[in-house]
Chain A
Amino acid sequence: MKQTPQELLVTQRMQPGVITLSGFLGIDQRPLNEIIADDAQTLLRLDITAPEIAERMQYLTDQSQQAYEGGIIIDGSYEVETEITRGKLPCPFLHRGLQRKTVTTCTHLTTGITIRWTALNIHMIKEHGFFEGKGSPFRLEPGTLIKVLFPDAAHRS
């Protein structure tokens, strides 16, 4: 599929060293809209929407920030910790507002799977359905994400 100038501009902002050190696309060679479309297919198959995922991630992140420092057990099934560093990052999609530099580490206690995400991850999933390119340090596989965030719904797939 051809890309619009807007998509090309966004892709340019996702390159290493523009907003973050390694960028958002990893080793993914696919055009941006294909990455988003492919993940959207996966979500459709799993019968869930990107905003639902983002909402759940936001909930866990907010809960973990109640803890002044260190990890916290949430709902008896997750151990979550959010680390915040100085500074804010813009959205590569030229979106309004800045996101804090946070890294949330979340371990699902039953399965032992650990995933981590940033505030920017939540924003990009919610607003743009973007889970980052394959091989990117903060790539979130929708499949794994759902397994951790919605363990009860996993059988739907």
Chain B
Amino acid sequence: MDINAFILFWAAIFTSNILLTNFLGMCSYLSISREVESSFGLGMAVFFVLTVTAGLNWVIYYHILVPFDLIYLQFIVFIIVIAAFVQLLEMLIERFTPALYYTLGIFLPLITVNCAIFGVSLFLVIRKYSFIQSVAYGAGSGIGWLLAILMLAGIRNRLKEKMIPQGLQGAGISLIVTGIMALAFIGFSGIVIVQ
């Protein structure tokens, strides 16, 4: 892929938002979007982990898996790397910023199983991004995810006082809201092509 990393970064936020165009990372997106504050904490954690694991997995893929012909093991290896990094991050945060650890700490383990993070690692392989592109794409996707969950949390906050048909309350209305948000984001598409 020949695309400027800077453009790719913005594209990952708007034109091909990992959540709103690929619908990845839905589980935690739906369950932790009730309050703006906690969704911001989770979003920040996702952003950070995405940026770093995208780079890490790129290095591991091109310098270990490809030379040794182990590409068929990429799923397992990527997951191991993500899990280990989340663990390490948890320890570092606990040691150096205990206050952040308590706000963010409980969301960190959830991130290991967030498919947006795994998805980004797979995309950067499929789309043959360079290292710089991978990190930019990871960071952009993270911010995109943060943006999406913040918007949903804001909207859900407003929906609390609205009359919603019984069967649609909770996850139902959230999915409809997400769908409409995704439609709005289609407006950005076509500006840059990332895949």
In the complex, what's the smallest C-beta–C-beta distance from A124 to chain B, in angstroms?
Answer: 17
Complex Cα distance, B109 from A146, in Å, reads: 41
Residues on the B chain within 8 Å of A41, using CB: 166
Q: Mark A1-30, 1 if CB is under 8 A from B, else 0.
A: 110111001000000000000000000000
Q: Is A67's CB within 8 Å of the partner chain B? A: no
Cβ contact within 8 Å between A4 and B32: yes
Residues on the A chain within 8 Å of B27, using CB: 2
Tell which of A5, A9, A41 has the most Cβ of chain B within 10 Å.
A5
Cβ contact within 8 Å between B31 and A9: no
Complex Cα distance, B32 from A143, in Å, reads: 30
A-B contact number at CB 8 A: 19
Complex Cα distance, B172 from A1, in Å, reads: 12
Q: Is A154's CB within 8 Å of the partner chain B? A: no
B: contact size bracket:
10 to 19
Cβ contact within 8 Å between A9 and B170: no
Nearest to B164 among chain A residues (CB) is A44
Q: Is B168's CB within 8 Å of the partner chain A? A: no
Residues on the A chain within 8 Å of B106, using CB: 4-6, 9
Q: Is A37's CB within 8 Å of the partner chain B? A: yes
Complex Cα distance, B105 from A9, in Å, reads: 13
Cβ contact within 8 Å between B109 and A5: yes
Main secondary structure of the interface of A (DSSP, over half): helix
In the complex, what's the smallest C-beta–C-beta distance from A89 to chain B, in angstroms?
Answer: 22
Q: Mark B21-46, 1 if CB is under 8 A from A, else 0.
A: 00000010001100000100000000
Complex Cα distance, B188 from A101, in Å, reads: 57
Q: Is B47's CB within 8 Å of the partner chain A? A: no
Contact residues, B82-130 vs A (CB, 8 A): 106-107, 109-110
Residues on the A chain within 8 Å of B107, using CB: 5
Cβ contact within 8 Å between B110 and A5: yes
Cβ contact within 8 Å between A2 and B170: no
Beyond contacts A6-B106, A41-B166: 14 other A-B pairs, Cβ-Cβ < 8 A, are A1-B31, A1-B170, A1-B171, A2-B27, A2-B31, A4-B110, A5-B106, A5-B107, A5-B109, A5-B110, A6-B38, A9-B106, A37-B169, A37-B170
In the assembled complex, 19 residue pairs joining A and B whose CB atoms fall closer than 8 Å, in A order, are A1-B31, A1-B170, A1-B171, A2-B27, A2-B31, A4-B31, A4-B32, A4-B106, A4-B110, A5-B106, A5-B107, A5-B109, A5-B110, A6-B38, A6-B106, A9-B106, A37-B169, A37-B170, A41-B166
